[in-house]
Amino acid sequence: MYRAKDLGKNRYEFYSAWMNGHSARSLALESGLRRAIERNELALHYQAKVDSHNGRIAGMEALVRWRHPELGLVPPDQFIPLAEETGLIVPLSRWVLNEACRQHAEWVNAGFPPVRIAVNLSARQFVEDGLCEEVFATLALHGLDARLLELEITESMVMANTERTFEALARLRSSGIRIAIDDFGVGYSSLSQLKQFPVDVIKIDRSFIRDIPGDPSDAAITDAIIAMSKRLKVITVAEGVETPHQWHFLREHGCDEIQGYYFCKPLEAQAFLAYALKNMEETAPA
Ligand code: C2E
Ligand code: MG
Ligand code: MG
Ligand code: MG
């Protein structure tokens, strides 16, 4: 629960936020978010991506959560947009990248299989100077191989396609980092843009996966995205896979990797490590 005093002393701020359609909750979140990083309230959860053929762990995605002292675990959809509006996304993203690399390097050093870790980027980060330098410095700091890092961007960033974004992605990619397009199919990127774009992975949006194999349109779209990706030599990942039927459909249509609750929910670091070790044991070749 939040109390009136958490909303800030300034009533005007509250009313203007209200008039702008912001809720009191988002106002409380905004003021808290400024301190969340310093107070160590952010945490990463990890979700596996598995090889669609054998279920073996092929990678993982780091997903940020906020352990709010009063509101409990706040999902990113409730504070990432706010962080983007306020510019707090920059320090927040820096924390996420560092923590993901730190954790992964620790796991690799402890004998964890060297699979990719994916981190979500925000459009705002391409506006700031020094994104590439920051990424390279973070990898170096933790001694993590660039080939173990994947950066997820959304279609709107592809659309923006400014010279700057394009160059930054090309530079990151030439160091061995993989670039993935997240939530593919719901944005407005055109196929011609995709062709020009330096991208390694396409993540098919969950909205297409939800009703396969039953829904003929979604099945056709998913099939077409996979076929197109193959021609472009791009790896496909299906998001939001919750049933064996979805998995089987995707596997039969040539989708490379599967991400979703059916195999693995986003887990805290400890629980994820346990999942990964068990997965390795169960799927080890005889
Ligand atoms: P996303 O990058 O597309 O991440 C996938 C989201 O789908 C995650 O939600 C994940 O928990 C959820 N998901 C995975 N499998 C399933 C499934 O089988 N069924 C259903 N219903 N959902 C599934 P989450 O963690 O709430 O993250 C939401 C979004 O917030 C992410 O979407 C991403 O756009 C953003 N986000 C998360 N972490 C970060 C971050 O560190 N930085 C930035 N800039 N954005 C982030
Ligand atoms: Mg993502
Ligand atoms: Mg996604
Ligand atoms: Mg999403």
pLDDT digits (tens, 9 = 90+) for 73-108: 999 999 999 899 888 999 999 999 999 999 999 999
Cα–Cα distance, 78 to 80 (Å, whole number): 6
Predicted pLDDT of residue 2: 43
**Protein residue with its CA nearest to atom 27 in ligand 1:** 76
Burial of 64 (0-12, 13-18, 19+ CB in 10 A): buried
Q: pLDDT, tens digit, for every residue of 146-157?
A: 999 999 998 877
Q: In the predicted model, is pLDDT for residue 164 greater than 50?
A: yes
The upper half-sphere exposure of residue 13, i.e. CA atoms within 13 Å in the direction of its Cβ, equals 13
174 CA to centre of ligand 2 in angstroms: 21
Regarding an ipTM greater than 0.90, the answer is yes
Q: Give the end-to-end CA distance of the chain in Å, rounded to a whole number.
A: 53
Q: Is residue 243's pLDDT more than 90?
A: yes
Q: In terms of Cα–Cα distance, which of 125, 109, 108, 126 is closest to 117? A: 108
Cα 88 to Cα 1, 119, 153, distances in angstroms: 23, 17, 18
Note whether 74 and 29 are within 8 A (CB): yes
User: How far, in Å, is the centroid of ligand 4 from the Cα of 183?
Assistant: 6
Tens-place pLDDT, residues 169-228: 999 999 999 999 999 988 776 666 777 788 999 999 999 999 999 999 999 999 999 999
Residue having the nearest C-alpha atom to atom 22 of ligand 1 = 240
CA of 46 to the centre of ligand 1 (A): 10
* Residue scoring higher pLDDT (139 or 2): 139
**Ligand 3 centre and the CA of 107: distance in Å?**
24
Greater pLDDT, 71 or 133:
133
Closest residue by CA, ligand 1 atom 5: 239
Q: Where are the beta strands (DSSP E) in the chain?
A: 42-51, 57-68, 72-74, 116-120, 149-154, 178-184, 201-204, 235-238, 257-258
Which residue among 86, 120, 135, 156 has the greatest number of ligand 1 atoms within 8 angstroms of its CB, and so is best to mutate?
Answer: 120
Alpha carbon of 223 to ligand 2 centroid (Å): 21
Indicate the pTM of the whole model. Answer: 0.91
Spatial separation of the C-alpha atoms in residues 117 and 104, rounded to whole Å:
7
Choose the weakest-confidence range: 16-20, 41-45, 248-252.
16-20
Amino acid symbol at 248: H
Residue nearest to atom 23 of ligand 1 (CA): 240
pLDDT band (50, 70, 90) for residue 20: low
pLDDT confidence of residue 92 = 95
Q: Which ligand is nearest to the CA of 240?
A: 1
pLDDT at 9: 46
Q: Give the whole-angstrom CA distance, residue 152 versus residue 149.
A: 10
Query: Has residue 160 got a pLDDT over 90?
Result: no
Task: Grade residue 57 by pLDDT with cuts at 50, 70 and 90.
Answer: very high
Residues that place a CB less than 5 A from ion ligand 2 = 120, 152, 182
Which helix or strand (DSSP H or E) is residue 229 part of? Answer: helix 216-231
Distance 63 CA to ligand 1 centre (A): 6
DSSP SS3 for 130: coil
Ligand 1 mean position to 28 CA, how many Å?
A: 22
Q: Which residues line ligand 1 (CB under 6 A)?
A: 47, 63-64, 75-77, 80, 93, 96, 120, 122, 152, 182-183, 239-242, 259-261, 266
